[in-house]
Chain A
Amino acid sequence: MNILEFTILVGLGSFSAGFLGALTGLGGGVVLVPMLTLLFKVDIRYAVGASLVSVIATSSGAAAAYLKDGFSNIRIGMFLEIATTLGALLGAYLAASVSTTVIGIIFGLVLLYSAYSSVRTPPETAGDDQLDDLATRLNMNGTYPSLSGPKHYNVRRVPAGFSLMFGAGALSGLLGIGSGAVKVLAMDQAMGVPFKVSTTTSNFMIGVTAAASAGVYLSRGYIDPGLAMPVMLGVLAGAMTGARVLARTKTQQLRWVFGAVIVALGGEMIYGALTGKI
């Protein structure tokens, strides 16, 4: 394959990944790395580097749209970014010393978990009535717009959320994905942040988290411009198109289809890693 063919094919594949990622809300990163390693036989470290770059692009683009809705909580996001950026640095450093086999296996497991969490109906976490001392001191409690006017919520268990976020950051730095699933888990389940607030705030944080590991990847030569170019442009264009189409599509069935694809890719990644093909 020459560079022109490779660029076009990777660009089209990345477009599809970004498109489906935006439609299902799962992000394109989860299918991008398996596609590049399994289909295009790209070394997993280059694939992760290119994926990180595309994660920053889509997160920054989408966050711009979300921020104006008034759902995201900038204080919760900023505080937890201390944990995700430190975790991301650790993950990026680990990427150099951990074998590609181990990275492949962890990637497969994260894919399986993402698929599970995407088809599971999110349990409605009612905001706590009791005020948490730390959350109050950090001014994290907030309101979000709802049909019956602004709704107030209280945040709890800040240290638990902070620790989970460190893990989410480390996974992001190691695998080049947004780890939105883990971020939502930390805010939603642990801290009791309302679902809509946690998803938008998580999206907002993903770009900052990815930037913390992308600096290390760039400096180590893991970001190859020839590969990152079609990936970033393809995913960005796909995500923008997906966001447009989203308004007039039923996404529930699509989530199941995409979930099945992710399960298949997860199995394939683990198999590929165990048989030494990654």
Chain B
Amino acid sequence: MFSKADWTDQKLEVIIANLLRAGVTLAAALVLTGGLVFVIRHGLAPANYSVFAGRPADLRHWGDILRAALSLRGRGIIQLGLLFLIATPVARVAFAVFAFAMERDWVYVSISAVVLVVLLYSLLARHGGV
């Protein structure tokens, strides 16, 4: 099943397309759910996004976001959905590394690995505050 001929670019593209669609759907569902919780609980509070404060301080790293979502805070669930959304292209690149390896195309394994490292650095490192 994993012979070289099976891993054509065409097949790769179809799998990636499905991966992207699933990621976006899951993310949108989480954001919608969290959004409903957030608006039901805080809908009548004043909205103020004109002053930049680097908020929300407790929803900036995946560990904190996961904790907030698990305690069913609306904004935590939204942020978890956004995290999934950002992770979707990352998963796409990770899959490309694997698929190019199946094609035995080592040049493109290295190229996609470089892109993956940049993305993981961006997503996982702590980049400081305001």
Contacts and interface: CB of A to CB of B under 8 A. Distances in A.
Given A2-B43, A53-B85, A60-B24, A46 B93 contact: no
A74 B93 CA distance: 11
A78 B32 CA distance: 32
Interface string A171-212: 000000000000000000000000000000000000110111
A122 interface: no
Contact of A219 (B13, B76, B125): B125
Contacts, number: 218
* Residue of A60, A75, A233 with highest tally of chain B CB at under 10 A: A60
B85 A85 contact: no
Interface on chain B toward A: helix, strand, loop, or mixed SS? helix
A117 to B, nearest CB: 25
A221 B130 contact: yes
Say which size band chain A's interface belongs to. 35 or more
A25 interface: no
B44 A4 contact: yes
Nearest to B51: A43
Contacts of A212: 118-119, 122
Interface of B: 9-10, 12-14, 16-18, 20-21, 23-24, 27-28, 31-32, 34-35, 38-39, 42-47, 49-57, 59-61, 74-76, 78-79, 82-83, 85-90, 92-93, 96, 105, 107-108, 111-112, 114-115, 118-119, 121-130
